Amino acid sequence: MKIAALFFDLDGTLVDSAAGVALALNTALAEAELPSFELPTVRSWIGDGPDALILRALQACQMRDVDLPSLAAHLRQRFDAATLATPSAQGAPFDGIAPLLLRLGEHYPMAVITNKPTPLARAVLKAAGLLQHFEQVHGADLPEQRKPSPLLIQRAAHQLGVATNAVLLVGDGPADLQAAQAAGCHLAWANWGYGPLPSPLPVDVWRLAAPADLLAQLPKRDPTQIH
């Protein structure tokens, strides 16, 4: 199996951002005089982008007799503002990610494929010291682009000049798995992330217990790429 490019999810794969996402969400909720949520709860909601995150929070608040779309739009504005105000608070790279990207960048073009909007994604990556490793950052700036849609994978592959079936996506959530399947690309499951492990995990999915496992996997399948 030839791998020509590597794509990575962001939250829960590259950056341990759950605490930062919870901070931005709870900041927005507090400004609207709504209750906050504990970190484990927010972590379980991460993966489908901020709009879905906010909707889950509002559902948990059991809001009634309010204009939910308007409230959600307001909270989204405040969430984005809180994220951009302190991107360094959004989290640090998982252990082993930075040296992994440094090594892989010598051999593969790399992109980030995330349900976080592009401006927020770039800010978080820059604050985490990872932005320079990626040729492209593709965030879900429109609802139809959100994984499990394959659109961002397809767009990144096209811009890099590679076939989608020569792409390996590294992710930690069901949306990553479904997007990879829809795009016809390969998937490596980041077991250190936030998403629940699919049961059973498809046999063609690589399972990574730690970032360094990706280096261990790639030579077996494409020995010309890593030396």
Q: Strand, coil or helix: what is 93?
A: strand
Pick the catalytic residue: 9, 48, 176, 213?
9
Whether 176 sits among the annotated catalytic residues: the reply is no
Q: Are 193 and 13 in contact (CB under 8 A)?
A: yes
**For residues 137 and 117, what is the distance between their CA atoms, to the nearest angstrom?**
10
CA dihedral 154, 155, 159, 165 (to 10 degrees): -10
**For residues 129 and 80, what is the distance between their CA atoms, to the nearest angstrom?**
20
User: What does the block give as tokens for 211?
Assistant: 């970032």
Within 10 Å of residue 122's Cβ, how many Cβ atoms? Answer: 17
Tell me which DSSP letter residue 23 carries. Answer: H
Sequence-separated (6 or more) residues with CB below 8 Å from residue 62: none
Active site residues: 9
